[in-house]
Amino acid sequence: MENMVNVYLFGKKYTVPAGLTIMTAMEYAGYELVRGCGCRNGFCGACATIYRIKDKQELHACLACQTEVQEGMYVATLPFFPLVKQVYNIENIKPTEQIMMQLYPEIYACIGCNACTKACTQELNVMQYIAYAQRGEYAKCAEESFDCVMCGVCSSRCPAGISHPQVAMLARRLNGKYIAPECGHLADRVNEINEGKFESLIEDLMQKPIEEIKELYNTREIEK
Amino acid sequence: MYKIDKLNELAKAVAEKRAANAELEPRRMTAEEKDTLLATFHPDYKQDEFTVLSAGVNKGEKVPTQLAELLQGKSRISAADVDLTAPDYDTDVLIIGGGGAGASAAIEADEAGVKAMIVTKLRIGDANTMMAEGGIQAADKPNDSPAIHYIDAFGGGHFAAKPELVKNLVTKAPEAIQWLNKLGVEFDKEADGTMVTTHGGGTSRKRMHAAKDYSGAEIMRTLRDEVLNRGIPVIDFTAAIEIILDENGKAAGAVLMNMETKELLVARAKTVIIATGGAGRLHYQGFPTSNHYGATADGLILGYRVGARLLYADTLQYHPTGTGYPEQIFGALVTEKVRSLGAKLVNIDGEVFMHPLETRDVTAASIIRECTERNKGVETPLGKAVWLDTPMIEYKHGEGTIEKRIPAMMRMFGKYGIDIRKEPILVYPTLHYQNGGLNISVDCSTDVENLYAAGEVAGGIHGRNRLMGNSLLDVIVFGRDAGKNAAAKAKESAVPEKLTLEHIEKFNKELAEAGISSDTASPMLLPHYARK
């Protein structure tokens, strides 16, 4: 007999093999998942889940695909959370403090309870990146929030109604476009290509008999 | 620590030889050695895992058995089930799929000034693009050129790719990176803006651009944000289940199905782009997969039924380093970047058995050989695996490298008590990518007029094996092109007048004549994982 544990999916008890993730435990129980299931690998944030262990007080948040079931786990998935996503034209905004005030003014209503950080399924310091956003420090906000999968659990716990993942998304785009240093060699190469510099070189390769190009491939120099 | 003591014990052999192994520069295999290795150990060569098609435009050609079952499966509807005269949606360009290619296409179609609309069976961004970890190739360094990139990609694909597609891929690569960067995608850069680039398997220059090991996620979330900023309609949890043609046999829309209510809807469009991605969730040959939940080959089925030809549908990519243990993440991707950063592949005796950056097909075949014929694999409850010596990264590049460069990998294993900075990890090939797909021309058009394809669903760009970093590149370059070209075609086309689904009955008849009767509902839409 396999080692089994009791879990409570939306309050209903199921006995499932230990070692399953919450997601595979749901499938073991017979659920055909449509919502609340995405990459199954911890990257997409589709399977945000809240759980509590029987007789314990603390609420935990996790990704269902990345978390092993435990005995007495009460599970509620959060397949959708109504985050606020403001619309903007990335070409027309600038990385100023004002832009956050205009688009996401609620971040200044943060009461510092840190519930967002405690809830983060990626163990990010969410309240800290919101603090950076408040101060217009977008490079720091981008770095601190980088591993965010936008599952929305932080926002579900926020008394100030902040949509943290969307604030971070804006900060990262501002950083990527306006703050991070521009890449000179990239611009140079795009110009060379537009001038047709490599055109005949590649056309020539395309015309070569297969044996010749095999020889070129098999003897090509490989950078150390 | 591993929960199984034996594995902790075996990992010691890896640690003992780490210093010596780090010094090694293993020899690369010769062309002949690679050919023999592939023919003997690569899953693509297992003839009994394939079925020859009896109906449709690729009749007489072999495809993986699970795919054949769907290609020759049963449509979810008959023509009488929907009213084609009163479309629920009317658009210029209909984009099926909300991954990297679909989102890029939508942005470019919108930019061109036409009405674009995305339908996706899950959410926008639920796609393999989101899960691409390692990076995106572009020849933008002074010691590199698109011509060198061409040779790497064409050779890595065993000289089978369509040359004009490879040319398009490599020539537009730097501009693709620039486009992403201008949208706000973050790339790993030096303080002076120089891109931090590394090797991938089979590259001859360091041209892998990355955003830590969340490269695809960073690209996908930015594209999604841009689609939403532009107000492009995204109809989520709505799958396309049949392409609609007009009376002249041109693509003119799709029948959609709400994934939750099962309501059928009709979308009419002047041009249609299939951007549905891959097929890992069909678990060819029983392999686990690194793919998204929705990777069920839907686009191949949609296209095939209306007469779009497949190219190289018999060639799949098994990523050499899927997670071999623990079971919770079995088959999950361990990015090639781990090897780009210097980790080597090691057998049970602690020996480095190959150069870690051969192309993916060769590396996968080599790992399979190590675990079968040579019997040098490490036994786990899930089967055999080999070591990937992750601590070697910090041995070479110093403490902190792993957290900075591959945080997702550190987190993924850390959840199961394995600290990849201190302990090597166990890997075995996992089904990763569909090398072939719908045959396209350089403008992304398929064999059916007004029907386009882009991204993993398209075939011919990568020949019979894709290099790391050329897929993220492909979805951007060809996704954008598909959007531009489908928009231009839509501008010169009138609204289709008479919509038909006659192809369903026609295809059913062909199946019947071939003696095939199937109850397999197709496209599959989602894998059947619920325990019965």
Q: What is the mean pLDDT of residues B85-100?
A: 98
A140 and A211 both lie in a single domain: no
Smallest CA–CA distance from A177 into chain B, residue = B184
* Residue B179 at interface with chain A, using a CB cutoff of 8 Å: no
Helix runs in B157-297, H state only: 163-171, 173-183, 215-229
3 state SS of B48: helix
Tokens of A67: 């978390």
A1 pLDDT above the threshold of 60: no
Smallest CA–CA distance from B32 into chain A, residue = A218
CA atoms within 13 A on the CB side of B186: 29
A67 and A98 both lie in a single domain: no
Compute the distance between CA of residue B302 and CA of residue B240 in angstroms, rounded to an integer.
8
Query: What CATH number is associated with residue A71?
Result: 3.10.20.740
Tokens of B528: 């059947």
A chain contacts of residue B140, beta-carbon cutoff 8 Å: 183, 185-186, 189-190
A chain contacts of residue B413, beta-carbon cutoff 8 Å: none
Q: Which of A43, A68, A85 sits opposite B328 (nearest CB)?
A: A68
Could you say which residues from 327 to 386 on chain B have a Cβ atom under 8 Å away from some Cβ of chain A?
A: 327-329, 332-333
Provide the pLDDT for residue B144. 98
Which of A183, A188, A195 to mutate: most B Cβ within 10 Å?
Answer: A183
B122 pLDDT above the threshold of 60: yes
A158 and A197 both lie in a single domain: no
Strand partners, A8: A13, A74
A169 and A197 both lie in a single domain: no
In this complex, how many residue pairs, one in chain A and one in chain B, have their CB atoms less than 8 Å apart? 223
Q: Let me know if residue A116 belongs to a domain.
A: yes
Q: What is the pLDDT of residues A134-160, one digit of tens each?
A: 999 999 999 999 999 999 999 999 999
DSSP per-residue letters across B362-413: HHHHHHHHHHTTT--PEEETTEEEEEE-THHHHHHH-TTHHHHH-HHHHHHH
Provide the annotated active-site residues of B. 319, 339
Which of A43, A80, A122, A216 to mutate: most B Cβ within 10 Å?
Answer: A43
Which of B4, B195, B225 to mutate: most A Cβ within 10 Å?
Answer: B225
Domain count, chain A: 3
CA dihedral A159→A165→A169→A171, nearest 10 degrees, is: 40
Q: Let me know if residue A20 belongs to a domain.
A: yes
Place of tokens 């009405």: B115
A145 and A198 both lie in a single domain: no
A41/B259 touch (CB, cutoff 8 Å), yes or no:
no
CA dihedral B287→B293→B296→B300, nearest 10 degrees, is: -120
Please answer whether residues B437 and B453 qualify as being in contact, where contact means their C-beta atoms are separated by less than 8 angstroms.
Answer: yes
Q: How far is B85 from chain A (nearest CA, A)?
A: 30
Please answer whether residues A63 and A96 qualify as being in contact, where contact means their C-beta atoms are separated by less than 8 angstroms.
Answer: no
CA atoms within 13 A on the CB side of B387: 31
CA atoms within 13 A on the CB side of B126: 30
Q: Let me know if residue A163 belongs to a domain.
A: yes
ipTM: 0.97
A147/B408 touch (CB, cutoff 8 Å), yes or no:
yes
A48 and A72 both lie in a single domain: yes
Provide the pLDDT for residue B44. 97
* Residue A221 at interface with chain B, using a CB cutoff of 8 Å: yes
B518 pLDDT above the threshold of 70: yes
Smallest CA–CA distance from A33 into chain B, residue = B530
The separation between CA B21 and the C-alpha centre of its own chain, rounded to angstroms, equals 32
Q: Where are the beta strands (DSSP E) in B279-348?
A: 310-311, 316-323, 345-346
Q: How far is A193 from chain B (nearest CA, A)?
A: 7
B519 pLDDT above the threshold of 90: yes
Strand partners, B94: B117, B272
In terms of Cβ atoms closer than 10 Å to its own Cβ (0-12, 13-18, 19+), residue B194 is middle
Which of these three, A34, A53, A77, is where a domain ends? Answer: A77
Q: Which of A39, A172, A193 sits opposite B292 (nearest CB)?
A: A39
* Residue A211 at interface with chain B, using a CB cutoff of 8 Å: no
B chain contacts of residue A183, beta-carbon cutoff 8 Å: 140, 181, 187, 189, 193-195
Average confidence score pLDDT of chain B: 97
A122/B126 touch (CB, cutoff 8 Å), yes or no:
no
Q: What is the mean pLDDT of residues B410-415?
A: 94
Q: Domain range holding A205?
A: 186-215
Q: What is the mean pLDDT of residues B185-198?
A: 97
Say if strands B378-380 and B345-346 run parallel, antiparallel, or are unpaired. unpaired
Say if strands A12-17 and A4-9 run parallel, antiparallel, or are unpaired. antiparallel
Q: How far is A176 from chain B (nearest CA, A)?
A: 4
Provide the pLDDT for residue B532. 85
Q: Let me know if residue A9 belongs to a domain.
A: yes
A55 Cβ contact list (under 8 Å, min separation 6):
A72
* Residue A34 at interface with chain B, using a CB cutoff of 8 Å: yes
Q: Let me know if residue A223 belongs to a domain.
A: no
Compute the distance between CA of residue B52 and CA of residue B162 in angstroms, rounded to an integer.
23
A64 and A98 both lie in a single domain: no
CB atoms under 10 Å from CB of A123, counted, come to 11
A149/B407 touch (CB, cutoff 8 Å), yes or no:
no
B125/A44 touch (CB, cutoff 8 Å), yes or no:
yes
Q: Let me know if residue A221 belongs to a domain.
A: no
A213/B182 touch (CB, cutoff 8 Å), yes or no:
no
B214/A30 touch (CB, cutoff 8 Å), yes or no:
no
B chain contacts of residue A17, beta-carbon cutoff 8 Å: none
Q: Let me know if residue A114 belongs to a domain.
A: yes
Compute the distance between CA of residue B232 and CA of residue B117 in angstroms, rounded to an integer.
6
Q: At A132, which amino acid appears?
A: Y
A109 and A132 both lie in a single domain: yes
Q: What is the mean pLDDT of residues A176-191?
A: 98
Query: What CATH number is associated with residue A120?
Result: 1.10.1060.10
A177/B184 touch (CB, cutoff 8 Å), yes or no:
yes
Q: Let me know if residue A222 belongs to a domain.
A: no
Say if strands B197-198 and B208-209 run parallel, antiparallel, or are unpaired. antiparallel
A34/B260 touch (CB, cutoff 8 Å), yes or no:
yes
Choose among A25, A16, A203: nearest CA to B328: A25
A134 and A165 both lie in a single domain: yes
Say if strands B264-274 and B451-453 run parallel, antiparallel, or are unpaired. parallel
Say if strands B437-439 and B345-346 run parallel, antiparallel, or are unpaired. unpaired
B chain contacts of residue A68, beta-carbon cutoff 8 Å: 328, 416
A125 and A149 both lie in a single domain: yes
* Residue B184 at interface with chain A, using a CB cutoff of 8 Å: yes
A71 and A95 both lie in a single domain: no
B355 pLDDT above the threshold of 80: yes
Q: Which of A21, A180, A205 sits opposite B328 (nearest CB)?
A: A21
Which of B28, B180, B186, B411 to mutate: most A Cβ within 10 Å?
Answer: B186
Compute the distance between CA of residue A95 and CA of residue A177 in angstroms, rounded to an integer.
9
Please answer whether residues A77 and A21 qualify as being in contact, where contact means their C-beta atoms are separated by less than 8 angstroms.
Answer: no
Compute the distance between CA of residue B390 and CA of residue B387 in angstroms, rounded to an integer.
9
Q: What is the pLDDT of residues A18-69, one digit of tens each?
A: 999 999 999 999 999 999 999 999 999 999 999 999 999 999 999 999 999 9
* Residue B86 at interface with chain A, using a CB cutoff of 8 Å: no
Tokens of A25: 């435990």
CB atoms under 10 Å from CB of B530, counted, come to 14
CB atoms under 10 Å from CB of A29, counted, come to 17
3 state SS of B427: strand
Could you say which residues from 140 to 159 on chain A have a Cβ atom under 8 Å away from some Cβ of chain B?
A: 142, 146-147, 149-150
A39/B531 touch (CB, cutoff 8 Å), yes or no:
no
Please answer whether residues A127 and A22 qualify as being in contact, where contact means their C-beta atoms are separated by less than 8 angstroms.
Answer: no
How many residues does the structure list for chain B? 532
Could you say which residues from 70 to 109 on chain A have a Cβ atom under 8 Å away from some Cβ of chain B?
A: 85, 87-90
A216/B185 touch (CB, cutoff 8 Å), yes or no:
no
Q: At A214, which amino acid appears?
A: K
Instruction: Report the alpha-carbon angle B455-B451-B138, nearest 5.
Output: 25
Q: What is the mean pLDDT of residues B224-241?
A: 98
Q: What is the pLDDT of residues B136-191, one digit of tens each?
A: 999 999 999 999 999 999 999 999 999 999 999 999 999 999 999 999 999 999 99
Please answer whether residues B322 and B428 qualify as being in contact, where contact means their C-beta atoms are separated by less than 8 angstroms.
Answer: yes
B294 confidence band (pLDDT: 50, 70, 90): very high
A192 and A152 both lie in a single domain: no
Could you say which residues from 137 to 176 on chain B have a Cβ atom under 8 Å away from some Cβ of chain A?
A: 138-143, 145-148, 150-152, 154-155, 159, 163-164, 167, 170-171, 174-175
Compute the distance between CA of residue B343 and CA of residue B67 in angstroms, rounded to an integer.
35
What are the φ/ψ torsions at residue B160 (nearest 5 degrees)? -105, -15
Q: Which of A32, A67, A169 sits opposite B221 (nearest CB)?
A: A169
